[in-house]
Amino acid sequence: MRRLPEETFLSIKFIERSTGGRGNGRTKLVSFNDALELIMVLPGKMAKEMRVKFADIIKRYLAGDASLVKEVQANAASSHPIAQMARESLAADVSPEDKALEDRKRKLELDLMESEAAQKRLHIHRERFEFIKSLSPNGVVDDQVRMVFKDSILNAVRNDSGQALSAPDPSMQPLCLSSVATELGLRFSSDNLKAIGKKVKAAYVAAYGTPPGKHEGFVEGAPRMINLYTKRDKAMVEKAMREFQAQRCEGGHGRTLVQLWKL
């Protein structure tokens, strides 16, 4: 080994250690990886026999010899010192720097996949919006549809940025005037509901300083653009209906009294 030239095997790969005990001197040690390299350049019969075995393993690997699979699996479970040293050496081959680099590479790959998925989701939202737009009167999408798509897209953006998804705001769900009347146990004609709608709109403008949005709804069997109210405005709608009902009752009692007086 002392005669090995530096270009064949670096001498710094040898580590001298004392073996301990009386009469024992210092001996040279090498790592498992360096021992395999050393066998490739050592003279002598034993080194030559090992190189023949290595050549056979390489040939079988290149040929795709399936019997290597069982041998590899056996080595993975073997408690033989050489198998154990090989496994430890293999695990130590991955330096902290290499592992950090691999982790960063993996994260970049995942970020790219998530970005592509986000772009795909936005593309789907856009296609759906355009389809609904094509079904809308004169190609104009009502405020209700815009609210739904806005909430859906904002949730998608929050999800892509790692923020917690927000649950749909129940107060922003569309409100039907006739449904509110049914809940209150009141019955109104279509003309009554139109009158109530005017009261609700006035109250809405007074509360928010802007008229309500519009959405497509069925009025007397035909699709029309009507004012958009949400559950946030339910108290406002109920108040308008109760006031209208009270006025209607007062007007009804007055007519009844007039009719009785005439009799």
Coil, helix or strand at residue 64: coil
What are the sequence ranges of the domains in the chain? 11-94, 105-168, 173-262
pLDDT reading at 2 higher than 90: no
- CB-CB contact of 244 with 196 (8 Å): yes
User: What does pTM read for this prediction?
Assistant: 0.38
> Which of 70-79, 113-122, 151-160 has the weakest average pLDDT?
151-160
pLDDT at residue 220, rounded to an integer: 59
Contact 201, 211 (CB under 8 A): yes
Cα dist from 47 to 28, 148, 260, whole Å: 17, 76, 128
Question: How confident is the model over 78-97, as a mean pLDDT?
Answer: 82
